[in-house]
Structure 1
Amino acid sequence: MVAGSGSRLNAGERARLAAIRSAESLAALAAETDAASVHDAYFAAKREWFDLQGRALADASSDQLPGNRVGVDGQTFCVHGITHADTRAEGRFLRQHVDRFLDAGAAVYVEQGVRSMYFSSFDDVYEMDDYAWAMERCASLDSDPPVYDALDVPFAGLSTNLDSLTTELRDAVFSLIDSGRHLYGESFEATLGDVASTFLMSHEDVSTGMDFASFSKSRAAADDPTKLGDLQDYYRRAFLPQPLEREWLRRHDPALELLTHARNERMADYAVYHSTADTVHLVVGAAHQPGVTYYLEQHRDGQRRGAEFEPVG
Structure 2
Amino acid sequence: MTETDESRLSERDRRRLAAFAEATDLETLVQLTGAHSIDDAYFAAKAEWTDLRRRALDPPEPIDGFPGRAVEIDGHQFVVHGITHAGTDAEREYLRSIVPGLVADGAAVYCEQGIRTMYFEDVGGVCEMDDLRWAMDRADEYGGDGNLRGAPAMVADVAESATDALDDLRDRSFSSIDSARRLYGDRFARALGDVATSFLTGPTDRSTGVDFESFVRSNRAAADPVHLGNLQYYYETRLLPQPLERAWLAGHDPELSVLTHGRNERMAAYVVSHNRDADRVHAIVGAAHQPGLLYCLRSIRDGRLSIDDFDLVD
CA distance in 1, matches of 2:125, 2:144: 37
Rate the CA distance shift 1:61–1:169 in 2: closer, same or farther, 3 A. Answer: farther
- Counterpart of 1:263 in structure 2 is 263
Structure 2: 5+ residue runs without aligned partners? 149-155
| Equivalent residues of 1:61, 1:227 under 8 A apart | no
Task: Give the alignment's TM-score, normalised by structure 2.
Answer: 0.92
| Equivalent residues of 2:62, 2:68 under 8 A apart | no
- Counterpart of 1:221 in structure 2 is 221
- Counterpart of 2:118 in structure 1 is 117
CA distance in 2, matches of 1:193, 1:199: 10
Measure how far apart 1:5 and its partner are: 2.1
AA in 1 matched with 2:132? Y
Rate the CA distance shift 1:2–1:221 in 2: closer, same or farther, 3 A. Answer: farther
| Equivalent residues of 2:130, 2:313 under 8 A apart | yes
CA distance in 2, matches of 1:2, 1:109: 24
Measure how far apart 1:237 and its partner are: 1.0
Deviations 1:139-195 (A, max 9, x none): 111351479xxxxxxxxx967422222111111111111222223222221111111
Rate the CA distance shift 1:91–1:300 in 2: closer, same or farther, 3 A. Answer: same
CA distance in 1, matches of 2:164, 2:2: 35
* Matched position secondary structure for 2:72: strand
- Counterpart of 2:237 in structure 1 is 237
CA distance in 2, matches of 1:212, 1:271: 32
The reply to whether residue 135 of structure 1 matches residue 136 of structure 2 is: yes
Measure how far apart 1:4 and its partner are: 2.3
AA in 1 matched with 2:188? F
Rate the CA distance shift 1:75–1:233 in 2: closer, same or farther, 3 A. Answer: same
* Matched position secondary structure for 2:85: coil
Let me know the Cα RMSD of the aligned residues: 1.9
* Matched position secondary structure for 1:96: helix
The reply to whether residue 191 of structure 1 matches residue 191 of structure 2 is: yes
Relative to structure 2, which stretch is displaced further, 70-79 or 91-100? 91-100
Superposition map of 1:91-170 within 5 A: 91-142=92-143, 144-145=145-146, 160-170=160-170
CA distance in 1, matches of 2:157, 2:137: 16
Rate the CA distance shift 1:279–1:158 in 2: closer, same or farther, 3 A. Answer: farther
- Counterpart of 1:47 in structure 2 is 47
| Equivalent residues of 1:83, 1:285 under 8 A apart | yes
Deviations 1:65-117 (A, max 9, x none): 11110011111100000000111111111122212211221000000000011
CA distance in 2, matches of 1:7, 1:85: 37
Relative to structure 2, which stretch is displaced further, 205-214 or 170-179? 170-179
The reply to whether residue 90 of structure 1 matches residue 86 of structure 2 is: no
| Equivalent residues of 1:61, 1:230 under 8 A apart | no
- Counterpart of 2:151 in structure 1 is none
- Whichever structure has more helix as a proportion of its residues is 2
Structure 1: 5+ residue runs without aligned partners? 148-156
CA distance in 2, matches of 1:125, 1:158: 37
Rate the CA distance shift 1:221–1:62 in 2: closer, same or farther, 3 A. Answer: farther
- Counterpart of 2:36 in structure 1 is 36
Measure how far apart 1:13 and its partner are: 0.9
* Matched position secondary structure for 2:282: strand
Point out 4+ residue stretches in structure 1 off by more than 6 angstroms. none
- Counterpart of 2:70 in structure 1 is 69
CA distance in 1, matches of 2:2, 2:270: 22
CA distance in 2, matches of 1:131, 1:308: 18
* Matched position secondary structure for 2:141: coil
Q: Percent identity?
A: 50
CA distance in 2, matches of 1:131, 1:30: 33
Task: Give the alignment's TM-score, normalised by structure 1.
Answer: 0.92
* Matched position secondary structure for 1:306: coil
- Counterpart of 1:153 in structure 2 is none
Measure how far apart 1:11 and its partner are: 1.7
| Equivalent residues of 1:33, 1:41 under 8 A apart | yes
Q: Aligned pairs, how many?
A: 304
Relative to structure 2, which stretch is displaced further, 186-195 or 232-241? 186-195
